Structure 1
Amino acid sequence: MKRLVSLSAEDNAATALSDISPGDECCLEVAGNKYKFNAEEGIPFGHKVALIDFQPGDQVIKYGEIIGRATKTIKKGSHLHIHNVVSDRVVK
């Protein structure tokens, strides 16, 4: 069963297609890029997971679009959400 979806070779975040438990093995190939890792933590259905390690300020890219920036160090396989990513899409 496919557990993650990503649409662009530029993506460094994928979307969970089902709940992912800590330690679950995740594999994904998109546009020739292959990712394989164990989930660092639980990731709910529909939420984002890190495909790479992030440093504070790094861009988070989903579906080929910059959607935000990491606010702290994030390990590959971690849940990406408001606790560690600030949106670039906030309208002020």
Structure 2
Amino acid sequence: MEKLYKINDDDNVYVLKEPVVSGEIIEINGNPIKIPYDLGRGHKIAACNIQIGEKVIKFGMKIGSATKKIQLGEHVHLHNLKSDYLPTYSKDERFDNK
């Protein structure tokens, strides 16, 4: 796991410290995981199975919810994660208050 790190024990994703290439095997929690595609530094990989609707936690913060089931070692990104961020104002409101 020298290529992966978690900052908080509650995190359910690891962050890549360096790029990985397609076909590379990374061990996660004693499980060998074959990475199916190239991923750059900073990308997230599931540290456990994550269920649909479950919060994705990175650096101890909820960064969104899983939109589909995510398997251990799977890339976590826009294709299976949605932001839960709700802005408190709209773009139009922001510019109307000058």
Give the TM-score normalised by the residue count of structure 2: 0.74
Partner of 1:11: 11
Superposition CA RMSD, Å: 2.0
Distance 1:13 1:82 in 2: 14
Partner of 2:65: 69
Distance 2:69 2:61 in 1: 21
* Structure 1: gaps spanning 5 or more residues: 28-34
Q: Amino acid of the residue matched to residue 79 of structure 1?
A: H
Identity of aligned residues (%): 32
* Structure 2: gaps spanning 5 or more residues: 91-98
Q: Using CA pairs below 8 Å that are at least 6 residues apart, which structure has the higher relative contact order?
A: 1
1:6-38 CA distance string (max 9 Å, x none): 1111010111111223451234xxxxxxx2331
Partner of 1:25: 26
Larger strand proportion of the pair? 1
Larger helix proportion of the pair? 2
Task: State the 1:40 CA deviation.
Answer: 4.4
Distance 1:19 1:36 in 2: 20
**29, 35, 41: which one aligns with 2:36:** 41
